[in-house]
């Protein structure tokens, strides 16, 4: 099996990893136009445990969060790009607007979120902490965002 898994496959894989005594780090996001901020964030998240799981928002959930013009890149391509990164062990796609259900299902040891979230805002924090896990807030790379890239493209190439 490759890095990209269904939730069911991932749950089975993580059961094996857990039996081996490895710490599972979970994070999620849209990852629409992969950029240096994503790479630095994922590298930092991977350092918090032994296995890094990334849940990528489906196209429909990205639209509900970011609006009808997004995502710019399909869920299959976004998952493939994230899976191509050396620091990422597993990727799955989820359709909900929040990752709460998948966090509860996968039961990671560490929940990583970007610095644009406060600890109290982190969805799934209580589920992870109630099991003895921890939440890690990773600083964002200033100026690195898909929105900023889109705006730069608009300025350089215009709206037409």
> pLDDT tens across 58-70, in order?
999 999 988 898 8
| Spatial distance between the Cα atoms of 78 and 34, rounded to a whole number of angstroms | 8
Is 142 part of a structural domain of the chain? Answer: yes
- pLDDT tier, 44 (very low <50, low <70, confident <90, very high otherwise): very high
Domain assignment present for residue 118? The answer is: yes
Q: What would the two tokens of residue 97 be?
A: 């607007």
- Are 52 and 89 in contact, with CB atoms under 8 Å apart? yes
Cα–Cα distance for residue pair 144/3, rounded to 1 Å: 26
Q: Would you say the C-alpha torsion 109, 115, 120, 123 has a positive or negative sign?
A: negative
Tokens, residue 37: 């901020």
d(Cα 41, Cα 64) in Å, to the nearest integer? 24
pLDDT of residue 159: 64
Q: With cut-offs at 50, 70 and 90, classify the pLDDT of residue 151.
A: confident
Mean pLDDT for all residues in the chain: 92
pTM attached to this predicted model: 0.91
- 8-39: pLDDT as tens digits: 999 999 999 999 999 999 999 999 889 899 99
Q: pLDDT at residue 160 above 60?
A: no
Query: Is the model's pLDDT at 108 over the cut of 90?
Result: yes
pLDDT surpassing 70 at residue 153: yes
Six-digit token pair at 14?
A: 């993580």
Asked whether residue 128 carries a pLDDT value surpassing 90, the answer given is yes
Residue 105 lies in a domain: yes
Residue 82 lies in a domain: yes
- For the ranges 16-25, 91-100, 118-127, which has the lowest average pLDDT? 118-127
90 domain-assigned: yes
Please report the pLDDT score of residue 1 as a whole number. 66
**What would you report as the CA-atom Rg of the chain, rounded to the nearest whole angstrom?**
16
Retrieve residue 111's tokens: 């929940």
Domain span at residue 75? 7-157
In a domain, 1, yes or no: no
Number of structural domains in the chain: 1
Q: What is the CATH number of the domain that holds 99?
A: 3.40.50.620
Does residue 44 sit within a domain? yes
The whole-number average pLDDT for the span 67-91 is 95
2 in any annotated domain: no
Alpha-carbon distance values, 91 to 6, 56, 100, 123, 141 (Å): 8, 7, 16, 19, 22
Exposure pattern of 41-57 as b/e (b: 16+ CB <10 Å)?
bbebbbebbebbbbbbb
């Amino acid at each position: 099996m490759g890095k990209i898994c269904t939730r069911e496959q991932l749950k089975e894989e993580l059961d094996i990893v857990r039996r081996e005594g490895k710490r599972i780090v979970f994070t999620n996001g849209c990852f629409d136009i992969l950029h240096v901020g994503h790479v630095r964030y994922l590298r930092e998240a991977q350092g918090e445990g032994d296995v890094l799981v990334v849940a990528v928002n489906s196209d429909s959930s990205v639209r509900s969060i970011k609006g009808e013009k997004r995502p710019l890149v399909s869920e299959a391509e976004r998952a493939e790009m994230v899976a191509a990164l050396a620091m990422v062990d597993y990727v799955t796609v989820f359709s909900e607007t929040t990752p709460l259900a998948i966090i509860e299902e996968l039961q990671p040891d560490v929940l990583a979120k970007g610095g644009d979230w406060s600890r109290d805002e982190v969805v799934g924090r209580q589920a992870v902490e109630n099991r003895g896990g921890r939440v890690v807030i990773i600083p964002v790379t200033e100026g690195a965002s898909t929105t900023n890239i889109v705006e730069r493209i608009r300025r350089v190439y215009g709206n037409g």
